[in-house]
Structures are given as C-alpha cells and as structure tokens.
Amino acid sequence: MIKKYLVIGNPIEHSLSPKLHNHWLKENNINATYDKKILEEKDLQSIIYEVKEKKINGINVTVPFKKVVIPFLDELSPEAKDTQSVNTIYFQNGITIGHNTDIIGFELAIKYAKYDISGKKIFILGAGGVAPSIIYSLKKMKASKITLTNRTKEKAENLKKLFPQIELVEWGDIKDFDMIINTTSLGLKENDKVPINYDQIGSGKFFYDVIYNPKKTNFLFEAKKRGHKIENGKMMFVYQARAAFGYFTKAPNARDGLIPLINKKVLQLLEND
C-alpha cells in the first residue's frame, strides 16, 4: 500500500518539508507521498483520527499547532511533554504518539556549526513555537544561563512556567551574552528589523537565526558586518526533518528508523526557493 505523510500548519504554503521528505522517500525506494495541508484548529481531531485508522502514516506539525494538537494524541515522548510542543506524529503499537524532533534538530545544527554551548550565556529573542525546544536543547547542552525577551510579556512568562531557570527581561533590553538566538518571525519580511543596538554588543559573539529563508536576515547581516559568528536555521530544519523521517519509516520500531542522507543534493533542494 502506498503510504501517506503530511505536514500540517497555517500558513503552510512556504513549507519545504515536502521537498525534503519526498526526496528521501524516493531515494530509499519507499512508495509514499508527502504533502502539505493547510488546516484550521477544528480539523485537528479528525486528522489525528486518520492516523489511528492508518489512512495517514505520519504527520509533521508546524506553526500554530505544535501545542494545540497535544490533547488529541494518545501519548507524548518525554521531550514533547517537557516542551509542550509536538512536531512529529506517528502510530505505534495501536496508539498515536507525539514527539518533538526540533530539539535534536537544534542540537545537531549547533554541532554542525562547531559551537560549544557548555558554560555559555545565551540570550533568546522571542517566545514563539520553537522557543521551548531551543531552551530544552540549550539546557541539555549545559548552557550556564538562559535569558529571554519577548514583545508580549505573557508569552515569556508562560515559558518560564515550563522552564523556571530562565531569566526574563523587557523587550528592548539586552543582557550580556555569548550567543544570541532569534526565534521571532522578524526577518521573514525584507524590511523586518530586530530592535537591538548592534554597536552595544561586544565582539566574538555567536548570532543564530532560526529563519533560513531568507538565508541572511538583517539580524545576521548586521552581526556578520561586525565580525561575529553567524548561522541560520537551515541545518536545524534539515536535522529535525531527518529525525522525523526516522520515526516515520520504522514504526512500530521507530527508534531504528531509516536515517536518510544529508548531502549536497539535499542542501541544494532548499536553495531554489
């Protein structure tokens, strides 16, 4: 039987997940389709039911459903539970499982960038969908301090409930840091600017942007100009997808799933948009 995978979100038009997964499915001779589907929150329950009925074999979840999908799932992995964030859903031993591969995606992207997080002070901009996964990952990699700021204070405070160790500062305030991470959507549009004073930040810092399209946001551009190390979110995206592919292809024994290749061809697939 032909297998069916989906990425769900709203908006979803710009998702590159289908390109990546379809490439890997083909490369591994798996008879399957991977499509994107735009949804409303009210459609979540029925789409998860299709996973139970084996009409859909796996789902990736993106903004704004990573948290609100949780009540419809039978079980969460410890990572999904601790971050209250699910980006990968599959069916195993009669139940639907929600997992979070953004965490391992971020961790492997940092390794790829050859940066050592341990003992570092991290400053996070934004409290959107991917922030809890990044905090979880930073803790795992033994960051010494995590400070976060968000325009809407309430969202930052909700994150502090999940991760009491983080320090919150007002939007616009900058704390001393070794690494700064943009998790806001500022940078997606051409004229977007993250409101920080680049000339007040010392030298030799690491600027990381979760955004990968455009390749170099204003945030990364300004940092590069001043000699800081920079990295965009492309490898995080690729590694979270690779981990999800592993779970999708080997249920009921998902942990031993296929690990598809990340090579030049794969990286080029994401360049053409």
In the bound state with ligand ATR, the residue whose beta carbon lies nearer, of 101 and 150, is 150
What is the closest distance, in whole angstroms, from the C-beta atom of residue 182 to ligand ATR in the complex? 9
In the bound state with ligand ATR, the residue whose beta carbon lies nearer, of 154 and 199, is 154
Residue with tokens 């789902």: 59
What is the closest distance, in whole angstroms, from the C-beta atom of residue 6 to ligand ATR in the complex? 19
Under rule CB under 6 A, residue 45 binds ligand ATR: no
Q: Are 69 and 90 in contact (CB under 8 A)?
A: no
Can you spell out the DSSP letters for 84-112? T---EEEEETTEEEEE--HHHHHHHHHHH
In the bound state with ligand ATR, the residue whose beta carbon lies nearer, of 85 and 249, is 85
Under rule CB under 6 A, residue 214 binds ligand ATR: no
Q: Are 100 and 79 in contact (CB under 8 A)?
A: yes
Size of the site for ligand ATR (CB under 6 A): 14
250 has catalytic annotation: no
Catalytic residue among 36, 66, 120, 234: 66
Identify any residues that bridge with 229 across adjacent strands, giving them in sequence order: 206
Identify the CA nearest to 244 among candidates 2, 81, 34.
34
What is the closest distance, in whole angstroms, from the C-beta atom of residue 166 to ligand ATR in the complex? 14
Residues 67-86, interacting with ligand ATR (CB under 6 A): none
Under rule CB under 6 A, residue 151 binds ligand ATR: yes
In the bound state with ligand ATR, the residue whose beta carbon lies nearer, of 8 and 266, is 8
Q: What are phi and psi of 129, to 5 degrees?
A: -55, -30
In the bound state with ligand ATR, the residue whose beta carbon lies nearer, of 151 and 250, is 151
User: In whole angstroms, how far apart are CA 232 and each of 45, 106, 209, 236?
Assistant: 34, 11, 5, 8
Indicate if the alpha-carbon torsion angle 131, 136, 140, 146 is positive or negative.
positive
How far from chain centre, in Å, is Cα 234? Answer: 10
Under rule CB under 6 A, residue 9 binds ligand ATR: no
Under rule CB under 6 A, residue 160 binds ligand ATR: no
Q: Using the rule CB under 6 A, which residue among 47, 80, 127, 223 binds ligand ATR?
A: 127
Q: Length of the chain in residues, anyone?
A: 273
The residues that touch ligand ATR, with contacts defined as CB under 6 A, are 63-64, 126-130, 150-152, 155, 184-186
Catalytic residue ranges: 66
